[in-house]
Amino acid sequence: MLLAIDCGNTNTVFAIWDGSKFLCTLRTSTHHARTADAYFTWFSTLVKHYEIDLDITDVIISSTVPRVVFNLRVFADRFFGCRPIVVGKPECALPRQPRVDEGTQVGPDRLVNAAGAYDLYGGNLIVVDFGTATTFDVVADDGAYVGGVISPGVNLSLEALHMAAAALPHIDVTKPQKVIGTNTVDCMQSGVFWGYVGLVNGVCDRIRAEYETPMKIIGTGGLAPLFAQGDLLFDEIREDLTMHGLTVIHAHNKKG
């Protein structure tokens, strides 16, 4: 049984993979100060709720926050007696080496997305991930991550607007009825929703023009289904893409 951990700048997701399906997916906010014992208290309580017959033999971690990895390693060692595979570390082999500028530390979540998307859809892809940042990962014909685009995430933009402007409230993003808002909240929702539809469409068009080979666009992240209601053209949406990628990289490392 594999425990796959995807640690983002905002949220950390644990998923238990039995070799063919995910038995459960657990989400908590990311805190660098959380100890191994605190992870276990949270984890074991929820696992009891799902009535899973726990037998974790392997742990794989992707973390965009370097500081949390130490405590997650201790967690894996202390409670499951295993040495985790950490994406981006030398001990973790990738199906394909990224082709980027020397010295670039590509976010492990982007490498994992690339591996997961290539496994599901083949090469020549743009993966759009609506996380803390909205990222675009370009996956080449052979499955390698070959670059992309990083823009501010949707919730980050909303938070920045609220923080910087005294009269603007905190809001959640939804698809507004109309483009022209007639109250403050509708105006903000329109700006963020249609602004991001424009951003994603514009960036994907430009990537496609530069790449010169037809590409599929894959959407992931919690907000992907919402943006699929705009005139965005995702060929596929796969909310568990990062988790799937972790199982792919784990299998690649197991086969030696």
Ligand X SMILES: CC(C)(CO)[C@@H](O)C(=O)NCCC(=O)O
Rule CB under 6 A: which residues touch ligand X?
8-9, 64, 104, 106-107, 109-110, 131-133, 135, 150
Q: 104 labelled as ligand-binding?
A: no
Q: Which of 63, 113, 132, 157 forms a contact with ligand ATP (CB under 6 A)?
A: 132
Under the criterion CB under 5 A, does residue 107 sit at the interface with K ion? no
CA-CA distance, 151 to 103, in Å (whole number)?
A: 21
Count of CB atoms situated within 10 Å of the CB of 89:
11
For ligand X, the closer CB: 79 or 136: 136
Site for K ion in 30-49 (CB under 5 A): none
Task: Please give the order of strands across the beta sheet that includes 216-220.
Answer: 145-152, 133-139, 125-130, 216-220, 236-237
Angle between helices 154-164 and 184-211 (to 10 degrees): 140
Residue type, 85: I
Work out what residue 226 binds among K ion, ligand ATP, ligand X, none; the CB cut-off runs from 5 to 8 Å by kind: ligand ATP
Q: Which of 1, 10, 161, 185 forms a contact with ligand ATP (CB under 6 A)?
A: 10
Q: Which of 37, 53, 58, 109 is catalytic?
A: 109
Helix, strand, coil percentages for the chain (3-state, nearest 5): 40, 20, 40
Q: What is the closest distance, in whole angstroms, from the C-beta atom of residue 233 to ligand X in the complex?
A: 23
CA-CA distance, 7 to 15, in Å (whole number)?
A: 11
Contact 23, 146 (CB under 8 A): no
Active site residue 231: no
Two structure tokens written together for 85: 């595979």
Q: Name the CA radius of gyration of the chain, rounded.
A: 19
Q: Which of 108, 143, 221, 245 forms a contact with ligand ATP (CB under 6 A)?
A: 221
Q: 222 labelled as ligand-binding?
A: no
Concatenate the DSSP letters of all residues of 82-119 into one string.
---EETTSTT---SS-----TT----HHHHHHHHHHHH
Q: 107 labelled as ligand-binding?
A: yes
CA-CA distance, 38 to 12, in Å (whole number)?
A: 14
Q: What is the closest distance, in whole angstroms, from the C-beta atom of residue 97 to ligand X in the complex?
A: 15
Under the criterion CB under 6 A, does residue 108 sit at the interface with ligand ATP? no
Q: What is the closest distance, in whole angstroms, from the C-beta atom of residue 40 to ligand X in the complex?
A: 25
Q: 135 labelled as ligand-binding?
A: no
Q: Which of 200, 223, 246, 249 forms a contact with ligand ATP (CB under 6 A)?
A: 223
Work out what residue 1 binds among ligand ATP, K ion, ligand X, none; the CB cut-off runs from 5 to 8 Å by kind: none
Query: What is residue 22's three-state secondary structure?
Result: strand
From residue 165 to residue 194, the character string flagging contacts with ligand ATP as x (rule: CB under 6 A) and all else as - is: -------xxx--------------------
Query: What is residue 133's three-state secondary structure?
Result: strand
Binding residues for substrate: 107-110, 184
- Give the active site residues: 109
Binding residues: 6-13, 107-110, 129, 132, 184
Interface residues with K ion (CB under 5 A) are: 8, 131
